[in-house]
Each structure stands twice: as structure tokens, then as C-alpha cells.
Amino acid sequence: MLAHSWRDIAFPRSGKPFRRVFSPAIETAAIVTGIIGVALSPIRAENISASPVAVDTEHLFGFTEGADIGNKGERELVIDSTLRAGRSMGSFAITASELEFKYTAFQNFRISGAATLAHYDIAGVAGIEDARRAAIQSLSFDARFRMLDRAQAPFGLTLSVSPHWGLVDETSGVRTDHFGTEIQLLADRELKPEQLVGVVNLLSANDRARLFASDGVQHESLLGVGAALAAQIIPRVWLGAEVRYLRDYSGAVLNTFSGQALYVGPTLYTRFGSKAFISVAWDAQIWGSATAAPGALDLTNFERHQAKLRFGFEF
């Protein structure tokens, strides 16, 4: 779910005693294959109409999102897959695929529900058992209220509130209960009508996890800000870039600072007809720091690479 695109790549959750680590081979193969495959897929001439199509900014970027929520009565089905790759040691790979149904109940209000299936491939990671398995990771709900419509205001502004319930730990795949809420403020503006769009995202999130094995409870919270630009290079094809800054904390209300990371990466968005779209993003951590380990990057609380592939269909 678009509201959990931040949460799924940022929260170690009960992973505080576990460290997520990915192999370079998995990073390169998965990220490059997904991005190049979409980018180089042939675009038939009949699928590219010269007539302008109203810009839908929600998925125009990657991990950052626009303020659009669709028109009243609009329904949408989205498959959102996120790969997290790159830690300081060992081999850790996780791919989470989310299936989300969205319904715009009123002109400025939308609700959605989602289920996430994850695959874990873990070997040689300190503090976590080797594993290769798939599991239903979480169930979530999202409510979005559009406070400003870009068509009548200088910019669009939407509030997103997303509670979730997790069935397994998002780091290790171990059975656990975890509950949390993510709140986002999404702002966007067409800097050049139907040609150039900019967005800014603000994020606040928290999570409470209980491991069945130890019966211990852990709290974690997160702050984030992101910005992105996208330009329409040919009809229905948008190329852009995004930058995101994330801060991780232990505790429910930003109690103890754990680490920070800065991500930068390209984005690609393509529409097929008026109903379907594909978007791809690849972000790399270019700067960071962790309280638990020295270095120019935070590979304790965050990944080195994050990739996203999203497909949606409106009906």
C-alpha cells in the first residue's frame, strides 16, 4: 500500500536484536532486472495517444507519493512490490508484495484495504536464524482525506492515516504481533501543466511489536521527509528523481535516536491507455549514520538499496 511504502522499508521493528543484511548479488540481480525490464519494454504506438490525459500524481513517483486520490466512485487495484537490499554483513533478502483495493467514497475521501505477502531469504546474519520461506506479513487499512484540490488551489494537499496489523516480523519472518500507525502529509503541484510535477511528503510513524518466543514488547518510531520531481518525456511516460531523509528511534514517541539515512534515486512511470499504469523506482542510500556503528552510512537501521515495482488498474 502506498501509505506503507515508507513503513515497509524503514522499520526494523522487533528487528532491533536482528540485523537485516543482503548480498550484493541479490541486490544487483533483482533491482537491475526490474528497472531495466520495465524501462526497455516496447511501447506500441497505438498505446500512446497524442491527446492529453489528466495527470494522476499519486503513483507518478516511487516511494514518494502525490496528493491525488481519484474521483468519487473510482476503484483501483494495485500490486506494490518492494525489495530491500544491502546490509553490513551476511546475506539477507526480503521482497514484500502488497495487494491493495482502493475506493474513493466521496470526492475528497478515499479508503483502502491491503494484504502483504513477503518472502525471506536469510543466511549468515548475526542474531537471526537462517530462513527461506514465504509468509503473509501484514494486513492494513488506509484512509485519505484531500484537504486541498490542486485544480482549485495553488497545490494539492492530502492527509493519509494508515493503521496496520502484522502477523510476522518484517525483518526475520518470525511469528509476532505488531501494531502501528503511519501518518503522512502529501503535497504536490504542477510546476508546468501536464509536463512537470513536484511533490513533498512528511511522515510520522510508530510500531509496537511482541515476539511470541520471548514475550517481550518493543516500540519504534520514525520521522521522514521526501521530495521528488517528474517530467513527461513522451506522452504517458514520466521520468523523475526523488530524495528522502529518514530518522529511526527506539520508543513510541521518538524516545531514543537510533540512526538516519538519506536516499536518492530515479523513478519511471508509464500509463497504458487510460486505466492501467506501471511505476518503478530505485533509491540508494548516499549518506547516513547509526548510533550502534560508525561509518558514512547507516546499514544497521536502513538498507543500502531500495527498489519498488508497482502495477495498478482503475475500474
Using CA atoms, how far residue 79 sits from 1, 97, 196, 308, in Å, is 8, 7, 26, 11
CA–CA dist 236, 233 (Å, integer)? 8
Section 135-155 average pLDDT? 96
Q: What is the pLDDT of residues 8-25, one digit of tens each?
A: 554 444 444 434 434 444
Instruction: Please tell me the least confidently modeled range out of 50-59, 83-92, 238-247, 276-285.
Output: 50-59
CA–CA dist 274, 277 (Å, integer)? 8
For residue 147, how many other CB atoms are within 10 A of its CB?
14
Diameter of the chain measured on Cα atoms: 60
Section 268-287 average pLDDT? 96
By residue count, the chain amounts to 315
Task: Give the pLDDT band (50/70/90) at residue 54.
Answer: confident
Among the CATH numbers 2.40.160.40, 2.60.120.330, 3.40.630.30, 2.40.30.10, which is that of 2-314? 2.40.160.40
CA–CA dist 270, 117 (Å, integer)? 25
Section 252-265 average pLDDT? 95
CB proximity list for 315: less than 8 A, separation 6 or greater: 75, 76, 77, 275
Annotated domain spans of the chain: 2-314
Residue showing cell 548475526:
126
% pLDDT > 90, the chain: 63
248 vs 32, higher pLDDT: 248
Section 57-86 average pLDDT? 96
Cα-Cα end-to-end distance for the chain: 18
CA–CA dist 139, 158 (Å, integer)? 22
